[in-house]
Amino acid sequence: MSASLALDALTKTFDGADHAAVDAVSFSVAPGECLAILGPSGSGKSTVLRSIAGLDVPSSGRILVDGADVAGLAPERRGMAMVFQRPLLFPHLSVLDNVAFAATVAGQPRREARADATQFLELVQLAGFGSRPVTALSGGQEQRVALARALAARPRVLLLDEPFSALDPELRSDMHALLAAIRAQVAPTVVMVTHDRDEAAIVADRVALLKRGRLLQHDAVERLYTRPVSLDVSRLMGGRIELAGVVRDGAHVSAIGRVAAPEGETWAEGSGVLVVRQEAIQVAAAGASAPEGFVAVDVVVADRRARGPRAELALAISGAGSVVEAATDQATDALADASPAAELVAEVPASRPLAIGERATALIPRSACTVVAG
């Protein structure tokens, strides 16, 4: 039932709009893979999904399912099933008949369609709910039924348009677990639109990050976090640390000193911004020496913000002076621009008594660093 999906320079400009809502987006999804299309509001991610479903007609570009172009194919003949943010259960049908909808319109006898639907209700852990009216369901149950109804259509590609964003956090994580269980059982190809990068990270194998209709990066989830290809990607993924500097002889020189590229990677020479996830930064006692593979930076706690069980620290770089002496002239110029903002961010358990003004050492793992164009 799973198919591969490929987008080739998909572009959609709405009537009267002066720029494209989706601008030459290309990516591919392997059979059984789950791709999350991630992006802020208005990034065109829903338009991409609606184009795949055939509900919007792209201005140009191709959509290939198992290598065949689906242009001009009506939505009902594409073999896609869509789950929207709202469950959209047909109110005139029972839960079971909602799930049996695809089989019924495909011409199956009612009895068989219902028997089939029963299996899918079991798959979403709602066995026994079939005879209920859809108005008797809770929000989470409604979305489960919507998912069962989509799966019962045996879609070649399952399309999810922010399906869980209207649910409360607990229900949402239940749904994530359910989706993982479904993927393990029936391995559908899934394309899911979300604005929540945590959700994308939990649910998806790969992520296509969109901004203003353009594809910024299509990559495995952890690479989006650790190896963003641009500052935009780093920022959209919630990256907080940006250190302007220069790459020279394979190492980046900035306010935190020389950082050599991780093994097997090379950074483009010239000016560049070093980005590293705040979650990767460890905070040690002042004067601690760097273990193998880490860069140690003397810092002063400049600010501390409560983040529930964790605390977010802004760390002013205090050892910058000594680094600058060692740096080249070019790097010094770059530093002169960057130094006022040169600051690290780290997260520590809320129980750590690091107060504002306290000195500490930030340990930055080299493997977590990457350099992007400024």
Nearer to other proteins, 137 or 323 (CB): 137
Query: Is 80 one of the binding residues for other proteins (CB under 8 A)?
Result: yes
Query: Is 57 one of the binding residues for other proteins (CB under 8 A)?
Result: no
Residues contacting other proteins: total by CB under 8 A = 45
Q: Give least dist CB 14 to other proteins, A.
A: 14
Query: Is 101 one of the binding residues for other proteins (CB under 8 A)?
Result: yes
Query: Is 133 one of the binding residues for other proteins (CB under 8 A)?
Result: yes
Query: Is 53 one of the binding residues for other proteins (CB under 8 A)?
Result: yes
* CB distance 65 to 3 below 8 Å: yes
Q: Give least dist CB 7 to other proteins, A.
A: 17
Query: Is 81 one of the binding residues for other proteins (CB under 8 A)?
Result: yes
CA distances from 102 to 81, 90, 148, 154 (A): 9, 12, 11, 9
Q: Give least dist CB 101 to other proteins, A.
A: 6
Burial class (CB in 10 A: 0-12, 13-18, 19+), 72: exposed
- Rule CB under 8 A: choose which of 114, 183, 206, 211 binds other proteins: 114
**Residue range at the interface with other proteins (CB under 8 A); choices 98-106, 172-180, 280-288, 289-297:** 98-106
* CB distance 97 to 123 below 8 Å: no
Query: Is 71 one of the binding residues for other proteins (CB under 8 A)?
Result: no
Nearer to other proteins, 14 or 90 (CB): 90
* CB distance 308 to 347 below 8 Å: no
Burial class (CB in 10 A: 0-12, 13-18, 19+), 365: middle
Give dist(CA 31, CA 1) in Å, integer.
9
Contact residues for 191 (Cβ-Cβ < 8 A; gap 6+): 5, 29, 34, 35, 37, 49, 52, 157, 158, 159, 160
**Residue range at the interface with other proteins (CB under 8 A); choices 1-9, 28-36, 113-121, 364-372:** 113-121
Query: Is 134 one of the binding residues for other proteins (CB under 8 A)?
Result: yes
Query: Is 76 one of the binding residues for other proteins (CB under 8 A)?
Result: yes
Other Cβ atoms closer than 10 A to 341: 10
- Rule CB under 8 A: choose which of 104, 318, 330, 339 binds other proteins: 104
Give dist(CA 362, CA 255) in Å, integer.
13
Burial class (CB in 10 A: 0-12, 13-18, 19+), 308: exposed
Query: Is 346 one of the binding residues for other proteins (CB under 8 A)?
Result: no
Torsion of CA 298, 302, 306, 312, to 10 degrees: -40
Query: Is 92 one of the binding residues for other proteins (CB under 8 A)?
Result: yes
Binding mask 137-156 for other proteins (x = CB under 8 A): ------------xx--x---
Q: Give least dist CB 104 to other proteins, A.
A: 8
Q: Give least dist CB 84 to other proteins, A.
A: 6
The arrangement of strands across the sheet holding 60-65 comes to 22-29, 5-12, 60-65, 68-69
Q: Given the DSSP bridges, would you call strands 294-307 and 282-285 parallel, antiparallel or unpaired?
A: unpaired
Q: Given the DSSP bridges, would you call strands 294-307 and 359-365 parallel, antiparallel or unpaired?
A: antiparallel
- DSSP code of residue 356: T
- Rule CB under 8 A: choose which of 41, 111, 184, 325 binds other proteins: 111
- Rule CB under 8 A: choose which of 127, 220, 356, 373 binds other proteins: 127
Per CB under 8 A, residues contacting other proteins are 53-55, 74-82, 84, 86, 88, 90-94, 96-97, 101-102, 104-106, 110-111, 114-115, 118, 127-128, 130-136, 149-150, 153, 159
